[in-house]
Chains A and B, each alone.
Chain A
């Protein structure tokens, strides 16, 4: 079993929908939780990070972390065709090394 699990999708939604992307993890040492967006044949782009449990909002994006359940989510409001990409969750922690441990990514398609 991988340390970080993520549904690969693809997830297809109509433009304007609210999108929910999720990851589960097993390592209790993770303290920082990141979401990256990756367009085809491009490098991952950091969207946002959250420390420990709680919510964080940035424009149309909201990240949620529930450490008790080892479950994190990214919500995208008013989704746009330009949001079509692969979304990767990543995690790190001081006791887990400085490297990022990634989920496998969820491919999102937003249809006009």
Chain B
């Protein structure tokens, strides 16, 4: 079946602009996660959605980062007033509600802030 999809695959933006990254999880997966992968920091958790529960935002690095999930499916990660240190690969993963250890990742969005 179809895996996790993300768009765009690459995004170049100027410092100070806002960006939106999209994630489409595996059909039927109620849990959705955003991670960030950068050279110096490895793979870091950002935010987690589970069904209709309040999201776990404990990994968001600043209030410039936000995410929403509409209709329990597609999610959008928004970064406002982008900074150069936001340059990274943003990865989305999904899982069934009861197997959070079995997360499947999308291909990622490579964000470059110039």
Which chain A residues in 83-112 approach chain B with CB under 8 Å? 88, 90, 92, 97-105
* Residue among B44, B58, B103 making CB contact with A46, cutoff 8 Å: B103
- A interface footprint on B8-35 (CB within 8 Å = 1, 0 otherwise): 0000000000000000000000010101
B66-74, B77-85, B105-113: which one contacts chain A?
B105-113
Which residues of A lie under 8 Å from residue B35 when comparing CB positions?
Answer: 100
Please, could you name 17 A-B residue pairs with CB atoms under 8 Å apart, sorted by A?
A32-B101, A36-B105, A41-B110, A43-B4, A44-B91, A44-B105, A45-B105, A46-B105, A88-B43, A92-B101, A98-B56, A99-B48, A100-B33, A100-B43, A100-B93, A102-B43, A105-B43
Which residues of A does B touch, CB under 8 Å? 32, 34, 36, 41-46, 49, 51, 88, 90, 92, 97-105
Which residues of A lie under 8 Å from residue B56 when comparing CB positions?
Answer: 97-99
Closest to B103 in A: A100
Q: 9 tightest CB-CB pairs across the interface, nearest first?
A: A32-B101, A43-B105, A98-B100, A99-B45, A102-B43, A104-B42, A43-B107, A44-B105, A92-B101
B50 located at the interface, meaning its Cβ lies under 8 Å from any Cβ of chain A in the complex? yes
A97 close to B58 (CB less than 8 A): yes
A49 close to B101 (CB less than 8 A): yes
B61 located at the interface, meaning its Cβ lies under 8 Å from any Cβ of chain A in the complex? no
Minimum distance in angstroms from B21 CB to a CB of chain A? 13
Which residues of A lie under 8 Å from residue B45 when comparing CB positions?
Answer: 97, 99-101
* Residue among A45, A99, A103 making CB contact with B33, cutoff 8 Å: A99
Tell me, in angstroms, the Cα distance from A101 to B114 when the chains sit together.
29
Interface contacts (Cβ under 8 Å), in number, total 59
Which residues of A lie under 8 Å from residue B42 when comparing CB positions?
Answer: 102-105
Closest to B97 in A: A98
Tell me, in angstroms, the Cα distance from A83 to B31 when the chains sit together.
30
Closest to B10 in A: A41
Tell me, in angstroms, the Cα distance from A97 to B51 when the chains sit together.
16
Q: A92-B100, A99-B33, A100-B103 are in contact. Are A43 and B43 (CB under 8 A)?
A: no
Tell me, in angstroms, the Cα distance from A68 to B95 when the chains sit together.
28
Tell me, in angstroms, the Cα distance from A31 to B103 when the chains sit together.
15
